[in-house]
């Protein structure tokens, strides 16, 4: 029997055979597709295996680790996996913590860009009023005698100039005046002049000698008065007491001017200038500003508070300012441009200052910065950040904690910026200085220290590629400037005049 003999010869039989063959072909195709599916599934499994999960954790409590996924026992949120490749899995980028947008929203993270803006160049401090110790008058007995009468004065009384303190009986003066009058009656002008001179040498004021001349009678009772108006600081005179020559009766401190002693952090010591303007406000005089000048920076710092005492002299019209009053002080004046970030974005560890850099794809890493002055909730960044780089302004402490647990090192000051555009300097350093010379293409400055580079205060030349930066400036001006360090040498990138310093 040949194979052809098995084929039915009738049309119906042939149709049945064709249907069976078609059914077999379809079954064979499904079987082939089913056999090819497992390799695709194994490929997906291999991709998952490549990112090995070390543990699960709660971003709000990153120190607690769990061996399987689920809901956090601390917060109403799902646990997050920690991969062996460092969360992000991008080996080409710098080590960073990866956090998805949903987690960022739950953390309350706020991301802002470092930007240039105006910063008050003044220093804000607190202080209290004190007497002007240069305006003190001492009242003494010019000759020995007795106190006949006192005028109801007491320490801390406010008196006007010429106010009586006490009446003194000086017997020695009475005898000398009687001799002078007797000599004057003789008509001998030379002897009379000598006797009159003796009265002055005994300590009699010119007004008393003139009164003796007019009346022709001795006056041995003298009224002691205050030479200046102000506050009686000390009073050592009582009725009936005996006085010796030169004994101090009272001390009067004038109130025409007062001293305001402000406590300024020693970090601002380089910005303090004698003669700089100062503005003070007091709770007792809301909306009113009192102006004065810095007269001294005391030569000793407070070891407990690390502050310097700055003495400001304020006019005291009407005697309204009283020693002991508390004041808020602003030293210096004017505005300057600086690179600024929100003050809350800074993480101060005690040994350094960090910010959390925000990169693309929810990646974060710490960066060390050099901070400067602070005003209005924003802090100046002297080094460590470039304009336009983004930082975390809230929630950064939790992200920093996670970075520490992951062993991610902070970007050092002067390190390359992953966010800086190509061709732009990674870091611009800022300081203040005095213009010594301006030449074509260069400028010589006596500048303050640059801690980020370890530079001390010194005088050096900088390249000035853009002459517009020095427009309106002249030798002797105090400026704040930013510079970078290309291969050609330190180059000025921005410069503004410091006003009122």
DSSP per residue over 154-165, as a string?
-TT-EE-TT-EE
Spatial distance between the Cα atoms of 322 and 419, rounded to a whole number of angstroms = 55
Res 92: pLDDT: 39
> Per-residue pLDDT averaged across 253-269, rounded?
90
Res 96: pLDDT: 66
**Is there a contact between 251 and 139 (Cβ–Cβ < 8 Å)?**
yes
- Burial (CB < 10 A; 0-12, 13-18, 19+), residue 431, is buried
> Per-residue pLDDT averaged across 127-140, rounded?
92
Note the residue count of the chain. 501
Res 34: pLDDT: 30
8-state DSSP, 439: E
Q: Is the dihedral of CA 234, 240, 246, 247 positive or negative?
A: negative
Using DSSP's 3-state secondary structure scheme, residue 467 falls into helix
Task: Indicate if the pLDDT at residue 251 is higher than 70.
Answer: yes
Task: Indicate if the pLDDT at residue 44 is higher than 60.
Answer: no
Nearest partner of 496 among 483, 485, 484, 478, judged by Cα: 478
Q: Is the dihedral of CA 387, 390, 394, 396 positive or negative?
A: negative
The string of pLDDT tens digits covering residues 320-334 is: 999 999 999 988 776
- Burial (CB < 10 A; 0-12, 13-18, 19+), residue 90, is middle
Res 4: pLDDT: 42
Q: Is the dihedral of CA 262, 119, 379, 281 positive or negative?
A: positive
Average pLDDT, the chain: 78
Hey, how many other C-beta atoms are within 10 angstroms of the C-beta on 108?
9
When mean pLDDT is compared across 91-105, 367-381, 465-479, the lowest value belongs to: 91-105
Task: Indicate if the pLDDT at residue 43 is higher than 70.
Answer: no
Alpha helices per DSSP H over 316-425: 396-405
Q: Give the pTM.
A: 0.48
The string of pLDDT tens digits covering residues 462-497 is: 989 888 888 889 999 999 888 888 767 788 988 888
Q: What are phi and psi of 119, to 5 degrees?
A: -135, 130
Res 60: pLDDT: 57
The string of pLDDT tens digits covering residues 150-167 is: 998 999 999 998 899 999
Spatial distance between the Cα atoms of 215 and 120, rounded to a whole number of angstroms = 68
Is the model more confident about 30 or about 387? 387
Conformation bin of residue 427: beta by default, left when phi > 0, alpha when psi is -120 to 50:
beta
Identify the CATH number of the domain defined by range 124-132+255-333: 2.40.30.170
Per the structure block, which two tokens stand in for 448?
């303050």
The superfamily (CATH) of domain 429-497 is Copper binding periplasmic protein CusF (2.40.50.320)
Per the structure block, which two tokens stand in for 444?
């010589």
Q: Is the dihedral of CA 322, 323, 327, 330 positive or negative?
A: positive
| Distance, C-alpha 349 to centroid of its chain | 17
Q: What are phi and psi of 385, to 5 degrees?
A: -135, 150
> Per-residue pLDDT averaged across 367-390, rounded?
86
Res 396: pLDDT: 67
Per-residue b/e over 344-380, b at no fewer than 16 CB within 10 Å?
ebbbeeeeebbbbbbbeebbbbbbbbbbbbebeebbb
How sure is the predictor about 20, in pLDDT bands with cuts at 50, 70 and 90? very low
Spatial distance between the Cα atoms of 344 and 341, rounded to a whole number of angstroms = 8
> For residue 468, what are the CA distances in angstroms to 205, 442, 447, 479?
69, 12, 20, 14
Spatial distance between the Cα atoms of 377 and 109, rounded to a whole number of angstroms = 18
Spatial distance between the Cα atoms of 250 and 442, rounded to a whole number of angstroms = 64
Per the structure block, which two tokens stand in for 283?
């709770």
Spatial distance between the Cα atoms of 477 and 475, rounded to a whole number of angstroms = 6
Spatial distance between the Cα atoms of 484 and 462, rounded to a whole number of angstroms = 10
Res 465: pLDDT: 85
DSSP H/E element including 102: helix 101-107
**Is there a contact between 291 and 252 (Cβ–Cβ < 8 Å)?**
no
**Which residue matches tokens 């996996």?**
81
The string of pLDDT tens digits covering residues 51-96 is: 678 777 766 566 677 888 888 887 667 787 776 554 433 333 456 6
Query: Domain boundaries in the chain?
Result: 3-45, 124-132+255-333, 429-497
Res 373: pLDDT: 78
Using DSSP's 3-state secondary structure scheme, residue 142 falls into coil
When mean pLDDT is compared across 187-191, 322-326, 345-349, 400-404, the lowest value belongs to: 400-404
How sure is the predictor about 142, in pLDDT bands with cuts at 50, 70 and 90? confident
Q: Is the dihedral of CA 410, 414, 416, 420 positive or negative?
A: positive
Res 290: pLDDT: 94
Spatial distance between the Cα atoms of 142 and 124, rounded to a whole number of angstroms = 48
Intrachain domains 124-132+255-333 and 429-497 with the same fold? no
Partnered with residue 278 across adjacent β-strands are: 292, 331
Spatial distance between the Cα atoms of 380 and 362, rounded to a whole number of angstroms = 26
**Which residue matches tokens 């739950």?**
106
When mean pLDDT is compared across 132-136, 290-294, 317-321, 404-408, the lowest value belongs to: 404-408
Res 414: pLDDT: 63
Spatial distance between the Cα atoms of 210 and 6, rounded to a whole number of angstroms = 166
Q: How many helices (H) and strands (E) does the chain have?
A: 6, 31
Res 19: pLDDT: 40
**CA torsion angle 187 189 193 195 (round to 10):** -30
Is the model more confident about 417 or about 58? 58
> Per-residue pLDDT averaged across 36-56, rounded?
51
DSSP string, 243-261: E-TT-EEEEEE--SEEEEE
Res 352: pLDDT: 83
Res 316: pLDDT: 92
Res 296: pLDDT: 93
Is the model more confident about 372 or about 137? 137
């Amino acid at each position: 029997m040949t194979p052809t003999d098995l084929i039915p010869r009738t049309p119906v039989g042939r149709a049945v055979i064709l249907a069976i063959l078609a059914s077999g072909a379809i079954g064979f195709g499904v079987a082939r597709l089913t056999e090819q599916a497992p390799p695709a599934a194994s490929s997906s499994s291999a991709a998952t295996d490549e990112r090995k999960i070390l543990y699960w954790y709660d971003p709000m409590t990153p120190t607690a680790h769990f061996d399987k996924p689920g809901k956090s026992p601390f917060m109403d949120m799902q646990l997050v996996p920690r991969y062996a490749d460092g969360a992000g899995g991008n080996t080409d980028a710098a080590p960073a913590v990866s956090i998805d947008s949903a987690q960022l929203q739950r953390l309350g993270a706020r991301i802002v860009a470092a930007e240039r803006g105006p910063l008050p160049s003044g220093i804000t401090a607190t202080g209290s009023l004190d007497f002007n110790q240069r305006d003190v008058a001492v009242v003494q007995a010019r000759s020995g005698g007795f106190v006949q009468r006192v005028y109801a004065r007491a320490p801390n009384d406010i008196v006007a100039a010429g106010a009586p303190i006490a009446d003194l009986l000086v017997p020695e003066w009475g005898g000398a005046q009687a001799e002078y009058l007797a000599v004057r009656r003789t008509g001998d002008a030379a002897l009379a002049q000598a006797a009159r001179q003796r009265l002055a040498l005994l300590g009699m004021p010119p007004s008393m000698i003139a009164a003796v001349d007019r009346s022709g009678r001795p006056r041995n009772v003298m009224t002691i008065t205050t030479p200046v108006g102000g506050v009686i600081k000390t009073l050592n005179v009582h009725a009936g007491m005996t006085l010796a020559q030169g004994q101090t009766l009272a001390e009067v401190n004038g109130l025409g001017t007062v001293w305001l002693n402000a406590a300024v952090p020693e970090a601002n010591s380089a910005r303090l200038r004698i003669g700089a303007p100062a503005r003070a406000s007091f709770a007792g005089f809301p909306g009113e500003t009192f102006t004065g000048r810095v007269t001294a920076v005391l030569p000793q710092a407070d070891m407990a508070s690390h502050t310097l005492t700055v003495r400001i002299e304020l006019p005291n019209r009407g005697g309204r300012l009283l020693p002991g009053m508390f004041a808020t002080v602003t030293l210096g004046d004017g505005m300057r441009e600086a690179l600024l970030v929100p003050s809350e974005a800074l993480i101060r560890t005690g040994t350094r200052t960090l910010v959390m850099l925000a990169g693309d794809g929810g990646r974060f890493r710490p960066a060390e910065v050099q901070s400067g002055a602070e005003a209005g909730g924003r802090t100046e960044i002297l080094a460590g950040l470039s304009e336009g780089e983004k930082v975390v302004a809230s929630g950064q402490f939790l992200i920093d904690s996670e970075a520490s647990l992951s062993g991610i090192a902070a970007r050092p000051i002067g390190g390359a910026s992953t966010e800086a555009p190509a061709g732009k300097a990674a870091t611009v350093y800022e300081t203040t200085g005095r213009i010594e010379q301006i030449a074509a293409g260069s400028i010589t400055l006596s500048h303050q220290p640059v801690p980020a580079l370890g530079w001390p205060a010194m005088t050096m030349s900088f390249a000035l590629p853009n002459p517009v930066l020095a427009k309106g400036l002249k030798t002797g001006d105090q400026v704040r400037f930013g510079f970078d360090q290309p291969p050609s040498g330190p180059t000025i990138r921005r410069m503004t005049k410091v006003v009122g310093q």
